[in-house]
Homo-oligomer: A and B are copies of this chain.
């Protein structure tokens, strides 16, 4: 991705988040970039390509953050908190990418976009499950519910929190409130 492509992807995320799926048009994107509509097509072949690039960039970004976190050994509870704090910090600095987490609106638009969304979700899940499972093996996490089911609950809780954050126009602290969500989750699943 060139610098210009990065800028366009960022502008697309911003539009998507601020004005919804309907707001992401080539016209609006061009206005945001301060140049003509046709100039967009110097950098991307289609609108679809822009969205796929956006989702893949986001996926890569989150993956890197995951890698950085799990490279350090920590107790489960702390590991989970550090991981999600890293995610929340990213979205705090890039709220316009928040849309991709609850990208329901994008779905069904095209198969390629759908697949990009699934890659993103699957990537997060397949990272989280071993983490939780290891916590269970070490006896830190309850084994009364399977690791997959615990991850479902965690992801659902976080997704809903992100949804609220966007609904309320990002005007509460996502890092702090996200921490709180992780707190309540660990209270329920971490053995004392």
| Chain A interface residues (CB < 8 Å from chain B) | 18-23, 102-109, 118, 142, 144-146, 149-150, 152-153, 155-161, 163, 167, 180-181, 184-185, 187-189
Contact = CB atoms under 8 A, between A and B. Distances in A.
Contact of A188 (B109, B159, B189): B189
Tell me whether chain A's interface is mostly helix, strand or loop, or mixed.
helix
A115 to B, nearest CB: 11
A61 B77 CA distance: 40
Contact of A145 (B108, B153, B159, B187): B187
Kindly report how many copies of this chain are found in the complex they form together: 2
Contact of A160 (B18, B108, B109, B155): B155
Most chain-B Cβ atoms within 10 A of its Cβ — which of A104, A144, A158?
A: A104
A152 B90 CA distance: 23
Given A20-B108, A187-B145, A188-B189, A161 B153 contact: no
A88 to B, nearest CB: 15
